[in-house]
Structure 1
Amino acid sequence: MLITTAEDAATAILDGVARGRGRVLIGRDARGADAIARLVPALAPRIGAWLGSRTPS
């Protein structure tokens, strides 16, 4: 499992702010969630809940 370090996340956030980006996504899970929300906004909460229930604790 790949994990973004706090330092890498901070760098990406600061770069995004400096470039005037309205959205800065950190990690593959954030990109996936964003894609789902944009493609099927009405189903996004249901899909997120389903995926969350399948994730081992």
Structure 2
Amino acid sequence: MQDITGAYLAYQVHPGHAGLVDEVIDWYDHAAAGIERTVLPCAADEYARRRWRRTAT
């Protein structure tokens, strides 16, 4: 048995499909629920950065 205390996610979404970021967020919220989470959206992807900031509050 292993006690998982954190999760890290790095990903890429094609700029033409930015709406998929919301699906990634929903999946990560479910897959890593209840543990400390870290995410690394692309620095150039302002849409994704805004969406992740919104979920952090």
Report the structure number with the largest CA radius of gyration.
1
Structure number with the higher strand fraction is 2
Structure number with the higher helix fraction is 1
Query: Same fold, TM exceeding 0.5?
Result: no
Normalised by the length of structure 1, the TM-score is: 0.32
